[in-house]
Amino acid sequence: MSEPPARSDSQAGLRDERLGRVLTTRAIVLAGLVVVLVAAGTLWLLLALFGAGTPADQAQLEVFRATGNVVLGAGGAVALVLAARRQRLGELELRRKEQELAQRDHAQKHVEQVASDNAAHQRRLAEDARVDAAERRITELYTKAADQLGSDKTPIRLAGLYALERLAQNTPDQRQTIVNLLCAYLRLPYALPTGPKPGSDAGELELEVRKTAQRILADHLYPGNAPGVTRPEFWPGIALNLTGAVLCHFDFRGCRVGNVRFGRARFAGWTRFEDVEFTGYAIFGGSTFDTSANFVRARFHGRALFRGTTFRSNAMFDDAVFSDEALFGGARMIDGVPHPDGAVFGGRVSFAAATFERDVVLEHARVADDAADHVWPSGARPTRTEQT
């Protein structure tokens, strides 16, 4: 909308420029000489006609003098008009040049903006292509490793586990998904080997694969023991779902994990949870510990649910910290009907120096030997003890 006035001013400037070319220096000098000659001739003529000095001559001279003043004034006015004209011409020329510069600047900015937009578009296309390629590669690696876990050959299954571990370490946003896959593998039905020759049957070979999966989880959920320094191999914020899994010699010492589900899991062999930090809830309801269960100095930030858990040997919770409810017994509501559901302790129970910031429930819990050297939480103990 602003371009038509600019063209009009440009056309006016061209007209004034042509007029300026007509009023050259030579023309102005010649015009000045003509004015001087006319003035000299007029003066000579006046002196010749009215130079006698009579009153009538003086009166006529006054009239001519007044007329001359008028003419001089008119000439001055003409000179002012010409000067104003030249001033206007200069202003228009300056404006024209400014407009040309502004148009060139605008065109240059437009070209630069177009180039910048094209470059940004190319960068976006390149980034999208890079992301797509990376996602395709991750998907291919994940799919291949998952297929390897389904192999009937132990070395291939182990290779799949190590491939998943490497993929999770290099792609943090895929860690929980890969952990879910490892947990799903450990939840698959499995019978512990009972053959007379360990390592000779498929059960022993599968046990080696499962121990490798357990070790991968424990290694990457261990933040390290240096104060204020976290191991680069640590995977933070991971949740575990090992409901119903068979876990053999489960060693989780010093790990830090979010929500965990071990309900109905079987812990074959010794189990070590000392110094573990459960940042979310911890569900162990209905699980079975075949031998000792070590929860010394464990920290439970969320609810700790051990209702219906069976400890066939010693259960050690010395120096453990429970920041929320610790339920080792009580009654669960099933279809509106309360069902007693207490933990079963087959060996010595110790809560020495354990800290409970909320309620600890041991109602309906059972112990194999009530006369054993148990250490119960201060002010709480099982309300019913029976031989198991």
DSSP 287: -
Q: What's the confidence (pLDDT) of residue 70? A: 65
Q: State mean pLDDT over 87-115.
A: 90
The predicted-structure confidence for 323-356, as pLDDT tens digits, reads as follows 999 999 988 777 888 888 899 999 899 999 999 9
The predicted-structure confidence for 150-189, as pLDDT tens digits, reads as follows 999 999 999 999 999 999 999 999 999 999 999 999 999 9
Task: Read off the pLDDT band of 195 (50, 70, 90).
Answer: low
Closest CA to 215 of 172, 249, 171, 166: 249
> Who contacts 233 (Cβ-Cβ below 8 Å, separation ≥6)?
169, 219, 220, 222
Q: What distances in angstroms separate CA 54 from CA 48, 61, 291, 302, 370, one per listed residue?
A: 13, 10, 154, 132, 161
Higher pLDDT, residue 12 or 97: 97
What is d(CA 216, CA 194) in angstroms, rounded to the nearest whole number? 25
Q: What's the confidence (pLDDT) of residue 55? A: 76
Task: Read off the pLDDT band of 29 (50, 70, 90).
Answer: low
Cβ contact 256:280 at 8 Å: no
Q: What's the confidence (pLDDT) of residue 388? A: 42
pLDDT, averaged across the chain: 85
Q: Which of 23-27, 268-272, 275-279, 289-293 has the lowest mean pLDDT?
A: 23-27
Higher pLDDT, residue 69 or 138: 138
Q: State mean pLDDT over 18-30.
A: 61
Q: Is 339 left (phi over 0), alpha (psi -120 to 50) or beta?
A: beta
Task: Give the rounded percent of residues in the chain with a pLDDT score beyond 90.
Answer: 53
- Rounded to 5 degrees, φ, ψ at 256 are -130, 125
Q: What's the confidence (pLDDT) of residue 176? A: 97
Higher pLDDT, residue 200 or 177: 177
Coil, strand or helix at 80: helix
Q: Which of 90-104, 133-147, 240-254, 299-313 has the lowest mean pLDDT?
A: 133-147
Cβ contact 204:148 at 8 Å: no
Task: Give the rounded percent of residues in the chain with a pLDDT score beyond 70.
Answer: 82
What is d(CA 58, CA 69) in angstroms, rounded to the nearest whole number? 16
> Who contacts 242 (Cβ-Cβ below 8 Å, separation ≥6)?
183, 186, 187, 260, 261, 262, 265
Q: What's the confidence (pLDDT) of residue 197? A: 54
The reply to whether the predicted model has a pTM over 0.85 is no
The predicted-structure confidence for 240-278, as pLDDT tens digits, reads as follows 999 999 999 999 999 999 999 999 999 999 999 999 999
The predicted-structure confidence for 61-88, as pLDDT tens digits, reads as follows 676 677 667 667 767 777 787 788 788 8
